[in-house]
Amino acid sequence: MTKRIYLDYAATAPCDPQVLKAMEPYFFEKFGNPSSIHAEGQEARAGIEEAREKLASLLGAKKEELIFTSGGTESNNFAVKGTAFALSQKGNHIITTAIEHHSVSEPCKFLEKKGFKVTYIGVDKYGQVSPSDIKKAVTDKTILISVMHANNEIGTIQPIAEIGKFAREKGVYFHTDAVQTTGHIPVDVNELNVDLLSLSAHKFYGPKGVGALYIRKGTRWERFLHGGDQERGMRASTHNTPGIVGLGKAAELCREKMADEAKFQSGLRDRLIKEIKDKIPDVYLNGHPAQRLPNNVNFSIKYIEGESILLNLDMLGIAASTGSACTSSSLEPSHVLLAIGLPHEIAHSSLRLTMGRWTKQEDIDYLLEQLPQVVGKLRQMSPLYENK
Ligand SMILES: *Cc1c(COP(=O)(O)O)cnc(C)c1O
């Protein structure tokens, strides 16, 4: 096989071999049901509680404020619907943004069909939401504000602490989707002033299909999966012990490595941004120039389709993305790029490069060598380019 260069860490990251090693005993030796009283069960239970401690220390949370889920999607669904149903006597208004991941915006749309009112706040050209726009939207019926910590397509980081402070003053619950930030930049539930926070292991070198939801002590909730009383009755279903242990190990590793990794990756990011601008005419950086994930680069490359760039890069051994794995099978341009004000044709020409633990300078060298040629070739074939 030819060498592959993976620049799609925002879609998913490989599982760290140390994480895999920590998980291994929980498939056969320590296989017990963590809810069982016998030694086999208690051994599995101990693995889960150790993982909970590791995650709690990454987030500055209390152990009992964390529940394990099947991933970011479930955590977001639970956060939005769980609080909405629990507080429906108090009010029926939810505030969110126009650039949320579908696992937040689709539950909001579902709730609209059930009689809730949802306000979708717009963002500026860098993809940032203004806390004062959120303040203005709050009514005495508002029960929940949900704003993502950083966007998965354009990498823009939101002023979460400020929104959270205001939400607390108003007595409105505040949720953030921190799937893109957990393990990559500091995420502290108290500094961010959040009541609920979602995360997913496979975005920070843990296994797929496991995540967690932070729920601040005292927050009212409606249980999400009905059945047994696992996770203090919040979520029924036998624990995914190996997955949870892997999540814990991934959290521990990120806590140790995060500062150095963010520093290295933001160097690669800034190099990519500068050199792509220098080497290719008619490109525009999407997202915020400074308030940005350390590993995210997103460009619109005028006159060509993002999809054709991807296919060509793939043939050269480079895995990239147009923005979101979730929308890649649809022809609609990204709702995030439309929300920052890009016209349809430019929204269709986006390229996202996201880096991670195993990205090297040489990978970036190779990309910077190949990309201008790919773009040049595609532009030569593009009718849009001819008529420019
Ligand atoms: C990947 C992602 C999710 C979904 O997480 P899964 O664990 O894949 O369900 C939610 N929100 C954001 C911002 C993401 O990037």
**At 388, is the pLDDT very low, low, confident or very high (cuts 50, 70, 90)?**
low
Lowest mean pLDDT across 38-42, 192-196, 324-328, 369-373:
324-328
Among this protein's residues, is 108 annotated catalytic? no
**At 155, is the pLDDT very low, low, confident or very high (cuts 50, 70, 90)?**
very high
pLDDT (tens digit per residue) in 162-219? 999 999 999 999 999 999 999 999 999 999 999 999 999 999 999 999 999 999 999 9
**At 232, is the pLDDT very low, low, confident or very high (cuts 50, 70, 90)?**
confident
Tell how far the Cα of 102 is from the centroid of ligand 1, in angstroms.
9
- Return the structure tokens found at 227: 């059945």
- Whether residues 214 and 318 fall in one domain: no
| Structural domain that includes position 335 | 5-12+258-386
**At 382, is the pLDDT very low, low, confident or very high (cuts 50, 70, 90)?**
confident
Mean pLDDT of the 220-226 span: 88
Looking at residue 324, its pLDDT comes to 55
Is the CB of residue 67 less than 8 Å from the CB of residue 215? Answer: yes
Tell how far the Cα of 8 is from the centroid of ligand 1, in angstroms.
13
CATH of the domain at 276: 3.90.1150.10
In the predicted structure, residue 328 carries a pLDDT above the cut 70? no
In the predicted structure, residue 373 carries a pLDDT above the cut 90? yes
| Count of structural domains within the chain | 2
- Whether residues 148 and 290 fall in one domain: no
State the average pLDDT for the chain.
Answer: 95
**Pairing, β 350-354 against β 296-301:** antiparallel
Residue with CA nearest ligand 1 atom 6? 72
Looking at residue 330, its pLDDT comes to 59
- Whether residues 275 and 246 fall in one domain: no
In the predicted structure, residue 112 carries a pLDDT above the cut 70? yes
Looking at residue 224, its pLDDT comes to 79
- Return the structure tokens found at 184: 């990559």
Tell how far the Cα of 104 is from the centroid of ligand 1, in angstroms.
10
- Whether residues 298 and 340 fall in one domain: yes
Catalytic residue among 15, 108, 254, 326: 326
Residue with CA nearest ligand 1 atom 5? 72
- The ligand 1 atom nearest the CA atom of 71: 7
Position 219: which residue type?
T
Residue 212 CB coordination number (10 Å): 31
Name the domain boundary from 237, 253, 269.
253
Who contacts 124 (Cβ-Cβ below 8 Å, separation ≥6)? 130, 340
d(CA 268, CA 359): 9
Strands (E), 190-315: 196-200, 211-215, 283-285, 296-301
CATH of the domain at 62: 3.40.640.10
Residue 157 is classified by DSSP as: B
Residue with CA nearest ligand 1 atom 8? 72
In the predicted structure, residue 84 carries a pLDDT above the cut 90? yes
Residue with CA nearest ligand 1 atom 10? 72
- Whether residues 227 and 330 fall in one domain: no
pLDDT (tens digit per residue) in 252-280? 999 999 999 999 999 999 999 999 999 99
- Whether residues 209 and 350 fall in one domain: no
Residue-wise over 154-177: b if at least 16 C-beta within 10 A, else e? bbbbbebebbbebbeeeebbbbbb
d(CA 151, CA 106): 16
In the predicted structure, residue 223 carries a pLDDT above the cut 90? no
Residue with CA nearest ligand 1 atom 3? 72
Name the domain boundary from 229, 253, 277.
253
- Return the structure tokens found at 260: 């150095």
- Whether residues 244 and 262 fall in one domain: no
Position 86: which residue type?
A
- Whether residues 229 and 291 fall in one domain: no
Tell how far the Cα of 279 is from the centroid of ligand 1, in angstroms.
33
**At 329, is the pLDDT very low, low, confident or very high (cuts 50, 70, 90)?**
low
Is the CB of residue 322 less than 8 Å from the CB of residue 332? Answer: no
Lowest mean pLDDT across 200-209, 217-226, 307-316:
217-226
Name the domain boundary from 223, 238, 253.
253
pLDDT (tens digit per residue) in 55-79? 999 999 999 999 999 999 999 999 9
- Return the structure tokens found at 385: 């380019």
Partners of 296 in the β-ladder: 354
- Whether residues 65 and 164 fall in one domain: yes
Rounded to the nearest angstrom, the gap between the alpha carbon of residue 304 and the centroid of all alpha carbons in its chain is 27
Tell how far the Cα of 73 is from the centroid of ligand 1, in angstroms.
6
- Whether residues 86 and 133 fall in one domain: yes
- Whether residues 282 and 224 fall in one domain: no
- Whether residues 229 and 359 fall in one domain: no
Looking at residue 233, its pLDDT comes to 85
Provide residues with CB under 6 Å of ligand 1. Answer: 71-73, 76, 101, 103, 148, 152, 177, 179-180, 200, 202-203, 211
